[in-house]
Amino acid sequence: MPSTLRGNLAVGQSGGPTAVINATLVGVLREARTHAAVKNVYGLRHGVEGLLKEDLMDLGGADEELLERIRHTPAAALGSCRRKLRADDYARILEVFRAHDIRYFLYNGGNDSMDTCQRIADLAEREGYELRVIGVPKTIDNDLMYTDHSPGFGSAARYCAMSVRDMGRDVEAMAGYDRVALYESMGRHAGWLTAASCLGKEHEIDPPHLVYLPEVPFSEERFLDDVSRCFVKFGFATVAVAEMLKTAEGEIVGLSEATVNSDSFGHIIVAGSANYLARRVRERLGIKARANRPGTLQRSAMIAASAVDREEAYMVGQAAVREALGGASGVMITLERTGNDPYRCTTGTAPLAAVANAENYLPRAFINKEGNMPSAAFREYAAPLIGDPLPPVGRFEVKEVEKRTAVAT
Amino acid sequence: MPSTLRGNLAVGQSGGPTAVINATLVGVLREARTHAAVKNVYGLRHGVEGLLKEDLMDLGGADEELLERIRHTPAAALGSCRRKLRADDYARILEVFRAHDIRYFLYNGGNDSMDTCQRIADLAEREGYELRVIGVPKTIDNDLMYTDHSPGFGSAARYCAMSVRDMGRDVEAMAGYDRVALYESMGRHAGWLTAASCLGKEHEIDPPHLVYLPEVPFSEERFLDDVSRCFVKFGFATVAVAEMLKTAEGEIVGLSEATVNSDSFGHIIVAGSANYLARRVRERLGIKARANRPGTLQRSAMIAASAVDREEAYMVGQAAVREALGGASGVMITLERTGNDPYRCTTGTAPLAAVANAENYLPRAFINKEGNMPSAAFREYAAPLIGDPLPPVGRFEVKEVEKRTAVAT
């Protein structure tokens, strides 16, 4: 048994918000209250920025009703940041830790945040300051290694799956008027979320017909061939694309267009692959095409939060406090799947040092041979994470009324 | 009492799909079964196109379980169209009516569809063919006159309200990184849906901070001033814009950019106002800005269907059959609000001839003095239509921890 470490606990949120990141926060707060060694809980306002500015919120007294509301509030209730630590930050961080007797540091984020955690753990060890540092996973991109999946992904995945399914019904209904519908998903490097667009698909005619992932080199010719084939077969086509796609030569799809729109500060604005590809469909196939680009709505929409995801987000928050109080440090909480039928998941830990420097891409086995659709293995992996089955939809079986006139064409 | 007219009933769906258009269809089907005078119900595949092609589906035998699924399926289960009738279509339509003894014609759509209904009613009268024609309202744009509102609007409005609320939390959490978030709503001419983006707003800091409607001439200078002011006040700004905005001179905002992207068939593609305005914020204010453009997702997302809207959509379907069987023809079913606290609504009728040639814009009283936010009167009008209250969200009251160090800036 480790000796009891008495002190305050600081918790921060970092990186892009999610629909369930606050469920993790509430898991931390409720669990922390059950441990006498935790004197109080401080929230870092805007992550490590709040630490550097000594901008802390006293969360110890938050009442239950508010916590319950916060648990169902999307985005990051403490404020988030994308601040990388610099060499001259460390002395300041230690000063703030000491001034407030912070002995537990919990940081909720993705790869970059785990790197921040690791640096803070190293700092404490180097300086002989007793501190327990726990990384808590969170990313809609699902690109953290050493965890089966990450909280935030399941809800964003549910959003994509439902949106693409409904978008498909829309274009199917309008076939002959709208022809090709594209959905642009977040995720520049890892294709997990884009792949999740297929989770509402049951039949071949169901959307999406085609899925283009960042892991697969993109060929415009192949894309146009694929779309044409779908169009001939169904009379319409539905396509999910990652917001950034690259050709085999490493060129960003649609970037040349975006460069024209570079702003006065010299930033190149990537307009998003879907707008560009919709235009190419119109220009080269002569078919009407529309791009739907919900952007950040995907990551913070409570509208589609997954119950499984919210539950697990809460669970990793609790587990982080328990691990810290149990003596662990320098680790990230992981989710470990223990069964798929029925789906079951528990928590574990992985060394921060390993997690911080790895990025988890969609494996080849999760993509079909043609590189334009997630595989059955991916579906098996991802389906439980989006929670309750999508509400069922129906299609009339066509019972044609016999024709009684000479039909005009 | 009108004499009983025995024959078949044809029902069609027309124009842009909605989340609840199939609830109307199921209302028609279930009600029709209770009337012995209706021999059978035929669905027009893709609206009047199906009529012209004699492409009819026998809906009489659809089982209850399927109907219940269809009722919760977005978009148009029969297929929709945007076909305007031409002079040479009429003889053909009459031929199909006669061949199938169609005596009831119910058409579910917006302004254009009501025009189609009117023409078909005129045709039948001119030719002495006994036919009862009922228009059934449907439009997410809410621009039909003589009805308090239209089925489809409430669900799309709920989608906008929830999306903008959550988008606002996202940009608030990322303040300092993301700065300005724009949401682009459907609705080129009438601003009802764009205005609905404010229905999740409770406090001044809540999104949206600014709403730009097609009814108000757009000034880029005023827009940039508005955004700057919000940014100074809150550290971020959230903006809802209609997909098409025009200046006082009648120029489409962002069109010059879109013209560059005109396709090989000579169509000018309006890229959407939000992309353009986000770029202008970056260029002219030097602030990071993102455009979210869910496009057609807004109109067909079951994800956010309003229970009130779904109920009313069903109700207008039932009412259409009852009116037709009761002897009415040449009318559109309307929704009549009979109370707002609690909200209550019943159905009525309006002459097709009046409805077909009118478009309902947001009245001046529904827009604030500055022209950049819907008024309290609009909120009172629209709030009941989105159904259940949005799930409550929470914000920590900031309880600052007292600073104990010389704070670095």
B292-309: pLDDT as tens digits? 999 999 999 988 899 999
pLDDT tens sequence across A336-371: 999 999 999 999 999 999 999 789 999 999 999 999
Residue with tokens 């009412």: B319
Q: CA A266, CA A259: separation in Å to the nearest integer?
A: 9
For residue A393, which residues of chain B lie inside 8 Å, CB to CB? Answer: 69, 72-74, 302
Question: Identity (one letter) of the amino acid at B293?
Answer: R
B141 is catalytic: yes
Q: Given pLDDT bands bounded at 50, 70 and 90, which one contains residue B256? A: low
Q: How far is A365 from chain B (nearest CA, A)?
A: 30
How high is the pLDDT of residue A51?
Answer: 96
Q: Which of A176, A290, A399 sits opposite B295 (nearest CB)?
A: A290
Domains of chain B and CATH, by start: 7-151+303-356 (3.40.50.450), 155-301+363-385 (3.40.50.460)
Rounded distance between C-alpha atoms, residue B225 and residue B379, angstroms: 25
List beta partners, residue A105.
Answer: A10, A133
**Is 60 exceeded by the pLDDT of residue A101?**
yes
Task: Read off the tokens for A294.
Answer: 């919900």
**In chain A, pLDDT over 90 holds for what percent of residues?**
83
Interface-testing mutation among B303, B395, B407, with chain A (most A C-beta atoms within 10 A): B303
**Mean of pLDDT over chain B:** 92
B54 and A407: CB-CB below 8 Å? yes
Among A145-154, A210-219, A278-287, B117-126, the minimum mean pLDDT is found in: A278-287
| Interchain pair B408, A52: CB under 8 A | yes
Strand residue runs (E) in A45-179: 56-58, 102-109, 132-137
Q: Measured between beta carbons, which residues in chain A are less than 8 angstroms from residue B72?
A: 391-394
Contacts of B96 in chain A (CB under 8 A): 405
From the list B75, B177, B284, the residue facing A172 with the nearest CB is B75
pLDDT tens-place string over residues A67-98 = 999 999 999 999 999 888 999 999 999 999 99
Q: Give contacts of B69 with chain A, Cβ < 8 Å.
A: 392-394
Q: Give the residue on A whose Cα is nearest the Cα of B281.
A: A263
How far is the C-alpha of A288 from the C-alpha of A181, rounded, in Å? Answer: 9
Residue-level pLDDT at A371: 97
- Quick check: B359 pLDDT over 70? yes
Mean pLDDT of A191-197: 98
Size of interface A-B (CB pairs under 8 A): 291
Decide if pLDDT at B310 tops 60: yes
Chain A residues touching residue B294 (CB < 8 angstroms): 163, 292-294, 297
- For residue A301, give the chain B residue with the closest CA: B166
Cβ of B282 within 8 Å of Cβ of A263? The answer is: yes
Whether residues A299 and B264 touch (CB distance < 8 A) is answered with: no
**Contact list, B163 vs chain A (CB under 8 Å):** 294, 297, 301, 303
- Out of A141, A143, A226, A309, which one is annotated catalytic? A141
Using CB atoms, pick whichever of A57, A257, A295 lies closest to residue B292. Answer: A295
pLDDT tens for residues B5-32? Answer: 999 999 999 999 999 999 999 999 999 9
Phi and psi angles of residue B387, each rounded to the nearest 5 degrees, phi first: 85, -145
Report CA B40 to chain centroid distance, whole Å: 30
Residue of chain B nearest A176, judged by CA positions: B81
* Closest chain B C-alpha to A366 CA, distance in angstroms: 27
* Alpha carbons A347 and A147: distance in angstroms, whole number: 9
Query: Contact A264/B279, CB-based, under 8 Å?
Result: no
Closest residue, chain A, to B269 (C-alpha): A279
The tens digit of pLDDT for each residue in B17-76 reads 999 999 999 999 999 999 999 999 999 999 999 999 999 999 998 899 999 999 999 999
Closest-CA residue of A relative to B70 is: A394
Residue-level pLDDT at A406: 82
* Minimal CA separation from A72 to chain B, in Å: 6
Per-residue pLDDT, A398: 81
Residues of chain A in contact with residue B52, where contact means CB-CB under 8 angstroms, are 408
In the DSSP assignment, the letter for residue A146 is: S
Nearest to B69 among A166, A293, A393 (CB): A393
Q: For residue A168, what is the nearest residue in chain B, using CA coordinates? A: B75
Contact: B162, A77; criterion CB under 8 Å: no
Average pLDDT over residues B314-342: 97
Over residues A236-248, the pLDDT tens digits come to: 999 999 999 999 9
Cα of A83 vs its chain's centroid, Å: 19
Would you give the distance in Å from CA B384 to the centre of its chain? 15
Chain A residue whose CA is closest to B186? A292
- A 10 A CB-CB count for A400 gives 11
Are B263 and A283 in contact (CB < 8 Å)? yes
Q: Which of B89, B115, B141, B143 is catalytic?
A: B141
Model pLDDT, residue B178: 77
Among A69, A78, A299, A300, pick the best mutation site for testing chain B contact (most B Cβ within 10 A): A300
Q: Is the pLDDT of residue A259 over 60?
A: no
Read off the pLDDT of each residue in A254-267 and give the average, rounded to a whole number. 47
Question: In sequence order, what are the residues at sequence separation of 6 or more whose Cβ sits closer than 8 angstroms to the Cβ of residue A43?
Answer: A10, A11, A12, A25, A50, A56, A57, A58, A59, A78, B396
Contact check, Cβ <8 Å, B167/A279: no
* Smallest CA–CA distance from A398 into chain B, residue: B57
Place of tokens 């002495």: B128
Confidence class for position B267, pLDDT limits 50, 70, 90: very low
Say what the pLDDT of residue B263 is: 35
Strands, sheet with A210-212, edge to edge from the N-terminal-most edge strand: A210-212, A237-242, A180-185, A289-292
CB contact under 8 A, B294 and A297: yes
What is the SS3 string spanning chain B? CCCCCCEEEEEEECCCCCCCHHHHHHHHHHHHHCCCCEEEEEEECCCHHHHHCCCEEECCCCCHHHHHHHHCCCCCCCCCCCCCCCHHHHHHHHHHHHHCCEEEEEEEECHHHHHHHHHHHHHHHHHCCCCEEEEEECCCCCCCCCCCCCCCHHHHHHHHHHHHHHHHHHHHHCECCECEEEEEECCCCCCHHHHHHHHHCCCCCCCCCEEECCCCCCCHHHHHHHHHHHHHHHCCEEEEEECCCECCCCCECCHHHHHHCCCCCCCCCCCCHHHHHHHHHHHHHCCCEEEEECCCHHHHCHHHCCHHHHHHHHHHHHHHHHHHHCCCCCEEEEEEEEEECCEEEEEEEEEHHHHHCCCCCCCHHHECCCCCCECHHHHHHHHHHHCCCCCCCCCCCCCECCCCCCCCC
Cross-chain Cβ contact B54/A178 below 8 Å: no
Q: Cβ contact (<8 Å) for A396 and B17?
A: no
Share of chain B above pLDDT 90, in %: 83
pLDDT in tens, A105-118: 999 999 999 999 99
Interface contact A300-B170, CB threshold 8 A = yes
User: A295-315 pLDDT, tens per residue?
Assistant: 999 999 988 899 999 999 999
Q: Output the six-digit token pair for B392.
A: 């409550």
> What pLDDT shows up at residue A198?
98
Residue B386 is predicted with a pLDDT of 98
Alpha carbon dihedral B373, B379, B381, B385, in 10-degree steps, equals 110
Measured in angstroms, the CA of A399 and the nearest CA of chain B are apart by: 5
In chain A, what residues touch B161 (CB-CB under 8 Å)? none
Q: What's the pLDDT band for B188 if we cut at 50, 70, 90?
A: confident
In this predicted structure, the answer to whether residue B266 has a pLDDT above a threshold of 60 is no
Instruction: Check residue B272 and give its pLDDT.
Output: 80
Please say if the pLDDT value at position B3 is more than 50: yes
Q: A77 and B53 in contact by Cβ < 8 A?
A: no
Chain A residues in contact with B296 (beta carbon < 8 A): 167, 170-171, 178, 181, 290, 292
The average pLDDT across A166-176 equals: 90
| Contact state of A170 with B74 under an 8 Å Cβ cutoff | yes
Contacts of A263 (CB under 8 A, 6+ apart): A269, B279, B282, B283
A271 in Cβ contact with A256 (< 8 Å): no
Q: With beta carbons under 8 A apart, name residues in chain B contacting A398.
A: 45, 57
* Contact state of B100 with A401 under an 8 Å Cβ cutoff: yes
Q: Do B393 and A72 touch (CB under 8 A)?
A: yes
B177: chain A residues, CB-CB within 8 Å: 80-82
Question: Is the Cβ–Cβ distance between A263 and A269 less than 8 Å?
Answer: yes
Which of A79, A169, A267 lies at the smallest CB-CB distance from B175? A79
**Cβ separation B177–A286 shorter than 8 A:** no
pLDDT at residue number B1: 53
**Rounded to whole angstroms, how far apart are CA atoms B160 and B154?**
10
pLDDT per residue over B84-132, tens digit each? 899 999 999 999 999 999 999 999 999 999 999 999 999 999 999 999 9
Sheet of A343-351: strands edge to edge? A56-58, A38-44, A7-13, A102-109, A132-137, A331-340, A343-351
Contacts of A18 in chain B (CB under 8 A): none
Distance from CA of A338 to the nearest CA of B (A): 30
